[in-house]
Structure 1
Amino acid sequence: MTFQSPSQFPARGAPEPVAFHRTELSVILSVYGRMVAAGEWRDYGISCLRDVAIFSVFRRTAEHPLYRIEKRPRLRNRQGQYAVIGMDGQVLKRGHDLRTVLRVLERKLIRAVE
């Protein structure tokens, strides 16, 4: 009689969660660092779900996120897999290139000097 231990790998039918790649995170954290230095943002959270990866930005820890940066690979061939979503749920920018999508957030750093 042969005994086999249970497999440590997920079942074939179970999809792996969507996650940000290291290069994507470096671009996001670059913008995040500049906004923290400007005093606009203070905290972040990362969620890796089955259909979407979310980078949430907070002004304070106990609040709702100011912005959500989402990666949805299913939309890769349509509108683009990256999106920046505001606090009210409105899509501020969507596209195929993460850097161009994040430019919408960098505009918040530009202020008139009096």
Structure 2
Amino acid sequence: MADGEEISRVVPLHPRSGGTATQPVSTANKPAPPIVAFHRTELSQILRVYGRMVAAGEWRDYALDHGREQAVFSIYRRMGEVPMFRVTKTPKLARRQGAYAVVSAQGLILKRGHDLETVLRVFDKKRHLSVVGD
């Protein structure tokens, strides 16, 4: 729907009449839902680890995805494959398990927490990150 476009809704005419009418409703003044994104400092921390792993020849590509509930930094060994790892930010979980998580290609949560730097330390442990079959 474009800004300023009108949609219709059914509203009662009068409580005693029992009838209804269609009334135009403007969507121009409704705020867009907030998008979850990585902050500059968060991206800096992630890209520092990414750069180190690219230099080591482990990773070759990445993708960013920002949505209404979650931001995802996907890490690939080769273009066009399933991501090896995903670094996620889910603000809904900030008070529970922590907003940040590192998820493997199989969907296993390798590390979750409130502090991104601590969560990213999972990549320092080489033995946990070996890919079977490569």
For normalisation by structure 1, the TM-score amounts to: 0.84
Given the superposition, is the C-alpha separation of residues 59 and 10 from structure 1 closer, same or farther in structure 2, using an over 3 Å criterion?
A: farther
Question: Greater strand share, 1 or 2?
Answer: 2
Change (3 A) 1:10 1:82: farther
Alpha-carbon RMSD: 1.8
Q: How many residues align?
A: 102
Distance 1:77 1:10, change over 3 A: farther
Q: Match of 1:106?
A: 124
SS of residue paired to 2:46: helix
Mapped pair 1:96 → 2:114:
yes
The match for 2:30 among 3, 7, 11 is 11
Task: Output the amino acid matched with 1:19.
Answer: A
Partner of 1:80: 98
Of structures 1 and 2, the one with the larger relative CO (CA 8 A, separation 6+) is 1
Identical counterparts, % of pairs: 58
Q: Deviations over 1:10-35 (max 9, x none)?
A: 723x3211000000000000000000
Aligned to 1:68: 86
Taking structure 1 as reference, are residues 10 and 34 closer, same or farther at Cα in structure 2, changes over 3 Å only?
farther
List gaps (5 residues or longer) in structure 1: 110-114
Please tell me the residue identity of whatever aligns with 2:30: A
Give me the TM-score of the superposition, normalised by structure 2: 0.72
Correspondence for 2:17: none
Largest Rg, 1 or 2: 2
Moved over 6 A (4+): none
Q: What letter corresponds to residue 47 of structure 1 in structure 2?
A: D
Unmatched 5+ stretches in structure 2: 5-27, 128-134
